Amino acid sequence: MESPPERIAGLTLAEFSERLASSEPVPGGGSASAVVGSFAGSLLAMVGRLSLDRPKYEPYRSTSERCVASGERARTLLLELADQDSVAYAAFAAARRMPRETAEEQTARDEATAAAARVASDVPLAIVRECSRLLDEVAALAGRSNLNASSDLEVAARLSAAAARGAAANVLINLPMVGDEGYAGTTTAQLNYLLRDVDRVLATVSEVVGHGGLREPESA
């Protein structure tokens, strides 16, 4: 029986970088995007923790606590999605290697390819969604957290946006292989909406961080 693949979260950074640089198709850009997004989650949690139990930032306690939890959730989930993306693309690559000498083999290959391509589109779309949610939390904490770590928060925003864009590229390249125009159209529309929001929120974070001061606490 084939052993399960080693989890990306269990690799050292050097090992992951080495595997990414190899000629193997996985891990690839989708997994790399998810890992980058997980770093953004880690930074959000860090900035939230650096803001807790400090009198100056006490008015923002509820936001800081929520963002610590959100950052932890995102970093864990995105590492899981990195693994899912590798599994999904490996299945797609395996489908493309299926024999096609006969009409029956060609049909089986086409069906397997379409099914695998759908999963290979759904997983990076989930990465985009999670990075968008994460970026919203980064924006909520901007101007409401430890000002000494404001640049870390902007890095979190930029990593979230880059991860979303990277994962989106994988969605778009796999969609045509699904062979379902309705699904492709709906997915593309969802993706465009998410990416417009990502760009908007990233600009907001940059503006707030660039201002350099604190703003009002979130409304209850």
Domains, the chain, ordered by start = 27-210 (1.20.120.680)
Q: What backbone phi and psi angles, to 5 degrees, belong to 121?
A: -95, -40
Q: What are phi and psi of 218, to 5 degrees?
A: -60, 145
Beta carbons within 10 angstroms of residue 158's beta carbon: 17
pLDDT band at 138 (very low <50, low <70, confident <90, very high): very high
**What's the pLDDT score for residue 5?**
60
Structure tokens at 197: 């929001």
Q: What number of other Cβ atoms are within 10 A of residue 40's Cβ?
A: 29
6: pLDDT confidence band, cut at 50, 70 and 90? confident
Name the nearest CA neighbour of 73 among 122, 124, 128, 131.
131
Give the per-residue pLDDT at 2.
Answer: 39
Tell me what pLDDT residue 1 has.
34
With 50 as the cut, is the pLDDT of residue 110 above it? yes
Q: What percent of the chain has pLDDT over 90?
A: 95
Q: Which two three-digit tokens encode residue 166?
A: 């990277």
Cα Rg, the chain, nearest whole Å: 20
Q: How do residues 74-108 score in pLDDT, each as one tens digit?
A: 999 999 999 999 999 999 999 999 999 999 999 99
Between helix 103-141 and helix 29-51 the angle, nearest 10°, is: 20
Mean pLDDT of 194-202: 98
- Give the mean model confidence (pLDDT) for residues 205-210: 96
All residues at 6 or more sequence positions from 44 whose CB lies less than 8 Å from its CB, including other chains: 67, 68, 70, 71, 74, 134, 137, 138, 141, 153, 156
Q: Mapping DSSP to helix (H, G, I), strand (E, B) and coil, where does residue 152 land?
A: helix
In order of 95, 174, 177, the CA distances from 92 in angstroms are 5, 9, 10
Q: Tell me, what amino acid is at 38?
A: S
* pLDDT beyond 80 at 3: no
CA distances in angstroms from 9 to 13, 52, 82, 185, 195, listed in the order given? 9, 28, 9, 33, 27
Residue 27 has pLDDT above 70, yes or no: yes
Predicted local distance difference test score (pLDDT) of residue 206: 97
The total of other beta-carbon atoms located within 10 Å of residue 23's CB is 4
